Structures are given as structure tokens and as C-alpha cells.
Amino acid sequence: MALWQPPWGREPNSRSSRHKRTHGNATKLHRLMESPTEIRTERLLLRPPTEADAPAVFERYAQDAEVARYMSWKPHQSMDDTYAFLRRTISENAAGSSRGYLIFANDTGALLGSIGGAIECHRMHFGYLLARDAWNKGFATEAATHFVQAALDDPAISRVQSFCYVENRASAHVLEKAGLTLEGTLRHYLTLPNLGSEPRDVFFYAKVRR
């Protein structure tokens, strides 16, 4: 996958671009009105990125192989990779096909990580990551809980889903604590570029609006 693949990735073999081409202007107009707005939680600010965030994103996590280990992209080699990634996120946010956020600490303003989702029809597929010094403080759970709630508050989205590599126990915990239900294990579902070419099993989670 390309280096600028959003950190939350898309489902393999995503048809979103075809969906965008074959659906009318009504969908596009709706999505334009649904561009992401800030989300505040007790300890966090989630806001869409700008290109000015590139140096912090690169320094804090994009070049970190440990953070990228289970992600769909390789660690960024230079700031150019990070600028390209952010430009793509900004463009997809503006088009309404994604909701991509950076996560900041309310108290210090420090960049902590990223969370975002790709929208296909009534579904949002999302993912997240944190800089290493922000792990194990409940930040991912807090960000994911509010992000999922905001997505399901949109009448156009009735299903929010995510998957994680079966060995990524921390991520599985986050999805469970954010209220998603394990729907199954998809065997040999995807390859992870930082773990070789062997297809990997994933846990698939979702939450739906009833």
C-alpha cells in the first residue's frame, strides 16, 4: 500500500472510489455538509489535520516503526511522506469520504496520535494510533468512544466497524471498551507490510445504530 495510506486504512479491495463515481451529486452534497468538526472529550481534542501539522506528525509517530508495526503503511522515511499523507487526508475530509482527525492533549496541547474513518455508503471503517509515550493511559479508548458516537450520531451512518490483527491485543481491548462487538475472525484477510507477505487473521468488530 502507498505510504500515504491513511493510518486507519481502508478495507482491502475497497470499492469506495467506484462508489463515488457511480453515485449522484446528492450523496456528494450530503457528504460535503458532513465534513469533520472538532470533537472534545474530557482529556482530548480531536481536530482535522492541516499541512502545518506535518512536522509534529512525522516526529511524534509517522516515522516510528513500533507504532506502524500493525498498520497498513510503512514508517515514513521523510517529511515528504508525511506531507503527502496529510494532503490526502485533508482532501478526503473535504470530499466527505473520510473523517480524519489528529488527537491532542487538552492540557498541554501535545499531539498524541490520530483517529479516522473511511465512509462507504452507510458504513464507516475506522482505525487509530498513538505516539508511543501516550500508550496505556486510556487515550485510545477515550478517543474511539467519542469518535464512534459522533459517527453514529450522523443519520447517514448506521454501522461503524474496524478490524485488528489478532495479536494486537491492545487494539482489540480498545474496540471492546469503545462498545464494538466482535463479529468474527477473518482468516488470511490481509497482509501487513511491516510483517512480511504472509496473509494475517484479523478480528472484525462493529457497532450499529439500532
Ligand X SMILES: CC(C)(COP(=O)(O)OP(=O)(O)OC[C@H]1O[C@@H](n2cnc3c(N)ncnc32)[C@H](O)[C@@H]1OP(=O)(O)O)[C@@H](O)C(=O)NCCC(=O)NCCS
Per DSSP (E only), the strands in the chain are 39-40, 44-47, 98-105, 111-120, 123-130, 159-165, 181-190, 200-208
**85 part of the interface to ligand X, by CB under 6 A:** no
d(CA 111, CA 49): 11
- Least Å from the CB of residue 87 to ligand X: 22
Q: Is 171 in the site for ligand X (CB under 6 A)?
A: yes
Tell me the chain's radius of gyration from C-alpha atoms. 16
Stretch that binds ligand X, among 15-23, 40-48, 133-141, 185-193 (CB under 6 A): 133-141
Examine residue 164 and tell whether it contacts ligand X (CB under 6 A): yes
Determine if 62 is a binding residue for ligand X (CB under 6 A): no
One DSSP character per residue, 165-185 reads ETT-HHHHHHHHHTT-EEEEE
Q: How many residues bind ligand X (CB under 6 A)?
A: 20
Cell reading at 89 = 487526508
CA distances from 46 to 12, 62, 102, 189 (A): 26, 18, 6, 30
Q: Is 6 among the residues that bind ligand X (CB under 6 A)? A: no
Q: Is 96 in the site for ligand X (CB under 6 A)?
A: no
C-alpha–C-alpha distance, residues 100 and 86, integer Å: 9
Q: Does 128 bind ligand X (CB under 6 A)?
A: yes
* Nearer of residues 132 and 188 to ligand X, judged by Cβ: 132
When asked if residue 148 is in the footprint of ligand X (CB under 6 A), the reply is no
Helices 79-95, 25-33: axis angle to 10 degrees equals 110
CB of 53 to ligand X, least distance (A): 17
Judged by CB under 6 A, does residue 103 bind ligand X? no
Per CB under 6 A, 124 contacts ligand X:
no
- On whether the CB atoms of residues 125 and 161 are closer than 8 A, the answer is yes
187 binding ligand X? (CB under 6 A): no
In the complex, the residues that contact ligand X under the rule CB under 6 A are 67, 70, 127-130, 135-141, 164, 168-171, 173-174
